[in-house]
Amino acid sequence: MASDELPDVDEMLLQLVRLERRQPVLERDLARAQDRHATFPNPVAERQVAKLAAELKSVAATVEQLRVSLRPAMRA
């Protein structure tokens, strides 16, 4: 495998840190949106909850994928 094809570990670590910092913000925003939707149910609030839930799920999956990918590099 050529060096052009190898993953950039530094870039992966940077992305992991960014996403790990984003995750609690999304969790907080989702909780607030869910509370708002429960108090004032409407289609806009429902879409916001769905959007934040999907983004949080995506971020969590990417974080897990990065952790798995970086595990061998972290052992070295």
Q: What is the pLDDT of residues 4-31, one digit of tens each?
A: 676 789 999 999 999 999 999 999 999 9
pLDDT band at 76 (very low <50, low <70, confident <90, very high): low
Q: Which amino acid is at 59?
A: V
Specify the DSSP class assigned to residue 5: G
Q: Mean pLDDT over all residues of the chain?
A: 92
Please give the average per-residue pLDDT across 62-69, as a whole number.
96
Angle CA(11)–CA(56)–CA(9) in degrees, nearest 5? 15
Asked whether 69 and 46 are in contact (CB, 8 A), the reply is no
pLDDT confidence tier of residue 63, bands split at 50, 70 and 90: very high
Cβ(63)–Cβ(23) below 8 Å: yes
Q: Map out the domains of the chain as residue ranges.
A: 27-76
SS3 7: coil
